Amino acid sequence: MEVTRSLPPDATSPLARVVSDSTPPEEHSGFRLLPLGVYSLDARLELARRAKHSLDVQYYVIQNDGAGRLLLRTLKEAAQRGVRVRLLVDDLYTAGTEQLLLALAATPNVEVRLFNPFCCAREQLTGRLLASAFDIVRLNHRMHNKLFVADGVMAIAGGRNIADEYFTLNSAANFIDMDAIVVGKVIAELSGIFDDYWNSEEVYPVAAIVKPRNSRAIMADDFDDWVGMSGPAPKLTLPPTDVLGYGPIGEELDAGRIGFLWGVANAVADPPYKLRSMTAEQALATSVTMRVWDQLLRAEREVLMTSPYLVPGERGMAAFEELRGRGVGLTLLTNSFAANDEPLVHSGYARYRVRLLKAGVDLYELSPARTTRNRRLGLFGSSLGRLHAKTAVIDRRKMFIGSVNLDPRSATQNTELGIMVDSPQLAREMLRIINITKLENAYRLQLVATTDTIEWLAMDDEKEIIFTEEPETGWLRRIYHRAIGVLVPEGLL
């Protein structure tokens, strides 16, 4: 497999000129938060359409749906303009997209690689897992990173995969999530991380793993039909502004200058060989998760965090209790049982709720019903609202954004990527989004006096509503959850 590296930035690239004209003297790295899903997809498409030299794209999931096909179409169009496209996808969920990926790889200027691929029975996930039962230790190691780098000068990083539900385009369920457009000195770190993965032993060319159903020529025609290349690209419906007051990024790209918030940033990622040549303890000790904990434990006044899957474990609980013991305010926002798309992970989190509340943690759980009614973070319609953002704000100065959940899988099994930024202005914007989510879209939890039982509080038309059972769930689901939850070891969550 050929080793390739990120192309050096070309100052004549239109994106490079925008970055140069948008960067004040002596600044380190610039950020534009993307809390609105449809804006986040639009930003990726705009960067891909304006790229002149290179696109380096890395995702855990790319679905064969509207968002996935639109992005793949845009990557092929870029390649046809002469842009070098490198696409790296984790192999866990490629059963529905592998033929699309194989056909895209047949396009000149495009190379597609798979991370830690399955060997056989590739038509569906269940078959892959059954056929690989004796190789499950290797295959339990997945690449959870999300990264999009255009012309080596502008990137998008954060929590979103490529599927309709991450961009509020799904009629059944959508995620509240967070990405950021990134420029400046940290881009070199992000490109280096991509190169490390792209050239790692865990990665294989898609053509070495996936067998074509037809000849390559027919596949190319099929790809064009699948993604609709014969007609105009679907138009995204974009609201005038997002919750922060920003408009679509294309308008600023057209104007030649983008408003960023600036700070000193560094990007971190787990090595692609995590667990291949490490023990679980070594993987944990060097993980992005532990680097996040290191920053949290340096807090002096307050920490606010969002994590869709929150299973702190004994080490995490000890860290939270240490923070509270030093008088550091701690606010955690995660999914309610009704919002969680991983019920077993919720059972792991539920084991710690009483202890968190006793420690004085302000604990919030996202409400699907309240999210549906609130349009400030996206138009959810009648779909189920869920939290997927992985963010933190420390002392109103430092901000973290990335792919890391506070659970055992992120710590010891998956590879993760994140960016820590020292910027009071950026931290203030992230705090605004977290506060909107917790106050308008979530339940606040509290302990009933003199007992270890929990109540869920919400405001409805300025009237406080109190729930004494997991809200928005039926009794049968709650009983099943309690019964099955005690049977699953925490390390498997």
Catalytic residue, from 141, 346, 390, 438: name it: 390
Residue 358 a catalytic site member: no
What is the rounded distance in angstroms from the CA atom of residue 149 to the CA atom of residue 9?
11
Catalytic residue, from 144, 398, 438, 481: name it: 144
Q: Is the pTM of this model over 0.85?
A: yes
Residue 395 a catalytic site member: yes
Q: Beta strands of 60-191 (E only): which ranges? A: 84-90, 110-115, 147-150, 154-158, 173-176, 179-184
Q: Which is more confident, 255 or 136?
A: 255
Q: Is the pLDDT of residue 381 over 80?
A: no
Residue 388 a catalytic site member: yes
Structure tokens, 315: 């080490």
Q: What share of the chain is helix, strand, coil (3-state, %, to 5)?
A: 35, 25, 40
Residue 487: per-residue pLDDT: 60
User: Phi first, then psi: what are they for 161, rounded to 5°?
Assistant: -85, -175
Residue 221: per-residue pLDDT: 86
What is the rounded distance in angstroms from the CA atom of residue 303 to the CA atom of residue 382?
33
Residue 479: per-residue pLDDT: 67
**Window from 192-206, 254-268, 286-300, 367-381 with minimum mean pLDDT:** 367-381
Residue 151 a catalytic site member: yes
Nearest residue to 360 via CA among 275, 445, 418, 434: 445
Catalytic residue, from 146, 274, 438, 481: name it: 146
Residue 380: per-residue pLDDT: 66
Residue 144 a catalytic site member: yes
Catalytic residue, from 42, 91, 151, 164: name it: 151
Q: Is the pLDDT of residue 491 over 60?
A: no
What is the rounded distance in angstroms from the CA atom of residue 454 to the CA atom of residue 148?
41
Question: Domain 271-492 adopts which CATH fold?
Answer: Endonuclease; Chain A (3.30.870)
Do 258 and 22 meet the contact criterion of CB atoms below 8 Å apart?
yes
User: Hey, do 14-255 and 271-492 end up sharing a CATH topology, with the first three levels equal?
Assistant: yes
Residue 274 a catalytic site member: no
Residue 136: per-residue pLDDT: 79
- Domain borders along the chain are 14-255, 271-492
- The CATH number fitting domain 14-255, selected from 3.20.20.80, 3.30.870.10, 3.40.50.300, 1.20.58.760: 3.30.870.10
Task: Please give the average per-residue pLDDT across 422-444, as a whole number.
Answer: 95
Nearest residue to 392 via CA among 430, 357, 429: 430
Residue 492: per-residue pLDDT: 53
